[in-house]
Amino acid sequence: MRVLWITAELAPFAKVGGLADVSASLPKALHKLGTDIRLVLPYYGFIENNEIADLAISFRDYKERECKVFRTVIPGSEVPVYLVKNEIFQTGTAYGEKGEEVDLGDRFTTFCWIAVNLHNHVDFEPDLYHAHDWHTGPVMAFLKQAGVNYRSIFTIHNLAYQGNIATAYLREAGLSSTYIDPIADPGEVQTLRFLRLGILHPDLITTVSPTYAKEIMTPEYGYGLERDMTTHRLPVKGILNGIDPDEWDPQTDQFLHRQYGPDSLDDKIHNKTELQKEAGLKVDPSAYTVGIVTRLVYQKGVNILVDIIPDLMQEGFQVIILGTGDEKIEEQLRQLRTRYPDSFGIFLTYNEKLSHLMFAGLDSFVIPSRYEPCGLTQMYSMRYGTVPVVRCTGGLADTVEEDVTGFLFGNFSSQELLAALRNSKSAFDDRKNHWRGIQLAGMQSDWSWKKNALTWLEAYNEVVQTKTSD
């Protein structure tokens, strides 16, 4: 089976969030199971890597701009990755998330057009196209329009990001009015949500956890697409994401101050004191140190954590936040840092190495999300013996078990978060028994793709088989 995985993010080349991690870890797992899976990614100007080979293949897009094909592999594997160079991918970050001007309509229309035309230029004819999130929604419509007997799967990693883009881009790239007019949103400039094309046209829609698959059918989580989700002919299949256990292993992690495992859990403390030092906090092995690694955006609900910082400080917690994003949230965090220099630490940056030290050094990892399609950081935390305290929603509800592997709260409220954190602190106070049991239960949970890669393979097979039975 030949699968082309189409993504705007891939770790470590281009990472904004979890999509990048999953685009590396799941294809690796599927490749091990014998799937000929290959990826296509924009060759963004910021990607630096000398392992990328020029295939000396060049063609023109629908605007006569040059597309040059390069090839590399997902590091630590033999999974091929096609990187396509085009001037539209050259400047800025992937989505302009640092506030730069990026023409997202042009960028991702071009990427989708390239993805469906790539087979004309490289020696790889996919049986199945597997596309991800709004950036690649039009791939599903382009394929339908081409009428080729290829099969397609669309995976929703986050339904709230929908890509509201002027329809003119798609028309210019040759997508017919048949696909555009029925779902165009009216306005001064006619627009269309790219994600809707991804929902309306594939052979299978999936999302990244069973609970989120149910939640997105409701107005609270459907972000205006719940009707599309419920009236669509297909059910949405929720397959829980997994992690790469080699990449995230406290026993071998090169980014840690001291490596450790379930049999040497006492060594975790060296990472905690190093983290306290790096964050400029009072170095105190017995302090209860909680924190988060996150994009600082509305979804992640950091505001309810901010609301209770004075309570937490008074009750002897230390809090450390690694994140970047919303300028207003960053400013609030800076003010708290000034107010509580011994016990509130911030790193307002994106830093892979520090993120590993956070997963290893914190006692607890807090995830107060408004919604969380799957979430990977709770799984990384558990693997590192760091106890998750999370809101009971989406993939968090599917992975964390109350007082067994972590702590949960239900409503999106600072008081409920505070209660859950107090609960977790009581367990922490019984370090040798209660706490150790929770840490070990998390470390012993298997969050790798072992089981769900097989579920994916079955899904691929089912979809491809419908091709031959048409």
Where does this chain bind ligand ADP (CB under 6 A)? 17-18, 21, 293-295, 322-324, 350-352, 355, 375-377
> What is the dihedral sign for C-alpha 119, 205, 108, 86?
negative
Compute the least distance from the CB of residue 414 to ligand ADP, in Å.
21
Compute the least distance from the CB of residue 355 to ligand ADP, in Å.
4
Token pair recorded at residue 90: 């050259």
DSSP state of 52: P
CA distance 15 to 300: 17
Compute the least distance from the CB of residue 58 to ligand ADP, in Å.
34
- Closest-CA residue to 6 (of 114, 141, 106): 114
| Residue 86 vs 355, nearer CB to ligand ADP | 355
Asked if 141 and 112 touch (Cβ cutoff 8 Å), the reply is no
Q: What are phi and psi of 329, to 5 degrees?
A: -65, -45
| Residue 35 vs 381, nearer CB to ligand ADP | 381
| Residue 85 vs 157, nearer CB to ligand ADP | 157
Asked if 377 and 212 touch (Cβ cutoff 8 Å), the reply is no
| Residue 209 vs 424, nearer CB to ligand ADP | 209
Token pair recorded at residue 3: 């699968």
Angle at alpha carbon of residue 22, lines to 19 and 27, rounded to 5°: 130
* Pairing mode of beta strands 2-6, 128-132: parallel
CA distance 288 to 295: 23
- Closest-CA residue to 148 (of 125, 171, 121, 179): 125
Compute the least distance from the CB of residue 139 to ligand ADP, in Å.
20
Compute the least distance from the CB of residue 203 to ligand ADP, in Å.
25
Strand ranges in 199-271 using DSSP code E only, listed in sequence order: 204-207, 236-238
Q: What are phi and psi of 134, to 5 degrees?
A: -55, -30
| Residue 352 vs 446, nearer CB to ligand ADP | 352
Compute the least distance from the CB of residue 53 to ligand ADP, in Å.
27
Compute the least distance from the CB of residue 286 to ligand ADP, in Å.
27
| Residue 378 vs 439, nearer CB to ligand ADP | 378
| Residue 377 vs 405, nearer CB to ligand ADP | 377
| Residue 162 vs 294, nearer CB to ligand ADP | 294
Q: Please report where in the chains the tokens 């012993």 appear, as a residue.
A: 444
Token pair recorded at residue 436: 């150790």
CA distance 39 to 77: 13
Compute the least distance from the CB of residue 410 to ligand ADP, in Å.
20
